[in-house]
Amino acid sequence: MNKIMLVLLTILFSTALFACQETIDEGPDTISITVLGLEGEGTLLEPYELEIVVGETIEKVVEIEGDYEGLEYVFGELDEDSKFVSDSSLQHISINARSTDTYLSVVGYMKGESMLRIKGKDLSSSAYIHVRTVERNGSSEQVKDFSESLKVLAIGNSFSEDAMTYLGEIAHDYGITEVVLGNMYIGGASLEQHWTTLENNTSSYTYYKNTDNAWINKGGKSLRIGLLDETWDIVTLQQASGKSGLPETYQPYLDNLIAFIKETKLTPTTFMWHQTWAYAETSTHSEFPNYDRDQMTMYNAIMSTVQSLIITDETFRQVIPSGTAIQNARTSSFGDHFNRDGFHLNEFGRYVAALTWFRTLTGFSIDDITYKPAALTDQQMAVAKEAANQAYANMFEVTEITIQ
C-alpha cells in the first residue's frame, strides 16, 4: 500500500458563514490518516490536540495510507451521545495556502474551540483534531501585530548571520515601526556545541543586535543574557550547516536547548526552525564529503531531516525555508553563484535568505518590497522574490525560477 500525502486546499473563513449541522457517522476503515507531531490518537474520543494562538501559524505533517477519491474537512463538535455533529459556524482556524501535499498549515483565525474532522468523501475513516484557538496570555490582547513591531532572536552561527543581514532593512521597507533583531553567534556552532556552552555557563556567544537598521556587536554574552535582553516574539534555532542533514547529530541537544529556552525567556515565544542551504557544487568545506560532495544529495538530506525531526516536533510552529529558497534561485540564469566561499552566502544569497525570513516570520507579502542592496540589479531582486515566494509555498521541493 503506497503512502499518499494529504492534499489540503485553502479554506477561506467568512464571518457570513451560517451554521449547517449534520450528524456524520463513521464509515468503513478504508484509509489511515495520521497527523505527526500532535498528542492524541486521532480518534473521535481521543482526538489529536492542537492549541493555536489567534494569528499564529502551525504546520504539521499529515500522512494518508490507502486509496481514496478525495478528502473533506469538516468543523463541528461532539453531541451528548458522543457523535460528531458538523457545524460550520465553529470554524475558527483557516487552512493556509502554504499547505501542500506533504503538510498541513493552519492559521488561528478567531478565539474558539471545535473539532476538525478530516475524512474521505466516501465516508471512509476519519482523523479528528481537537482545536483550541486562544488569545495571547489568555487576555483580550491578540497575537502580536507584526505590522507595528517585530522582535526576533536567532541562536545560531554564521548562517543565521547571513540570513538576517538585510532583514532589518526589508522589515523597515515594509513599514514595520519597531524592528529588534538579535543573533547569538558562535562560529560554526552545532546544536551540541550550543548545549555544551550552556552547560558550562560560559559567555561564549558574540551577541549581535540590530535596533536601528544597524548591527552592533554587544560583546561576549551568555545565552541567558541574550534571552532576557528583550521580550522576543520569535526565537529561531538551527543545526550547524555540515550536520544539518545528519539526523543523528540533533538529539539530545535540541530538546535540552528548547527546555532551557522555555524556562528562561520572558514571554510566550514562537519557536521557528531555520532550514539551512546546501553548499555550492565547488565547495571545499571539510564536511561536504558527508554528502558525497554533491549539492543535491546535501539538499535532500537537509529536507529529509527537517521533515522527520522538526516538522513532527510540536515545539516548532514553522520552518524558515532558506535552503529551498537558495536552491530555487540556483535554477535561474545566475546558476550556482550565491556563495562567497562555497558555503557562506554572498550579497545576492543573503538577500534571498532575508526575504525568505521576512515572508515566513510575518506572513506578509514581499511583492511590494522596494529595498535591495545597492549592488543588486532589478533582475536579481525579481529572482530573489520569486525564489523566496516559491520556497514559502513549497518548503521541501525545488521550484524552477521563471524569471531569467
- DSSP states along 342-395: SSSB-HHHHHHHHHHHHHHHH----TT-----TTS-HHHHHHHHHHHHHHHH-T
Task: Compute CA distances 82 → 23, 45, 120, 265, 344, whole Å.
Answer: 11, 8, 20, 40, 56
Give kind and range of the element (H or E) at residue 340.
none
CATH classification of 149-393 is 3.40.190.10, yes or no? no
| E-assigned strand segments in 55-102 | 57-65, 71-78, 84-86, 93-95
The answer to whether the beta carbons of residues 337 and 348 sit under 8 Å apart is yes
Domain 3-138 shares a fold with domain 149-393: no
Q: Per-residue pLDDT tens for 329-340?
A: 999 999 999 999
CATH classification of 3-138 is 2.60.40.1080, yes or no? yes
Give pLDDT tens digits along the chain (404 positions): 343 333 333 333 333 333 455 555 555 666 788 888 788 888 888 999 888 877 677 777 778 787 766 677 788 888 888 888 888 888 888 877 666 655 677 888 788 888 888 877 665 667 898 998 876 544 333 445 688 899 999 999 999 999 999 999 999 999 999 999 999 999 999 999 999 999 888 888 999 999 988 999 999 999 999 999 999 999 999 999 999 999 999 999 999 999 999 988 877 788 999 999 999 999 999 999 999 999 999 999 999 999 999 988 888 988 999 999 999 999 999 999 999 999 999 999 999 999 999 999 998 999 999 999 999 999 999 999 999 999 998 899 999 999 87
Q: What is the DSSP letter of 280?
A: P
Handedness of CA 226, 227, 233, 238 (dihedral sign): positive
The crossing angle, in degrees rounded to 10, of helices 347-362 and 378-393 is 40
Beta bridge partners, 75, equal 116
Nearest to 279 by CA among 353, 345, 350: 345
Q: What would the grid cell of residue 175 be?
A: 513599514
Nearest to 220 by CA among 254, 253, 187: 187
Q: What would the grid cell of residue 277 be?
A: 542551504
- Whether cis (ω within 30° of 0) applies to the bond prior to 321 is no
Per-residue burial over 32-67, b if 16 or more Cβ lie within 10 Å, else e, is: ebebbbbeeebebeebbebebbbbbbbbbbbbbebe
The answer to whether the beta carbons of residues 37 and 82 sit under 8 Å apart is no
Give CA angle at 255 (252, 257), nearest 5°. Answer: 105
Q: What would the grid cell of residue 92 be?
A: 475558527
Q: Per-residue pLDDT tens for 19-50?
A: 455 555 555 666 788 888 788 888 888 999 88
Domain residue spans of the chain: 3-138, 149-393
- DSSP states along 22-45: EE--------EEEETT-BS--SSS
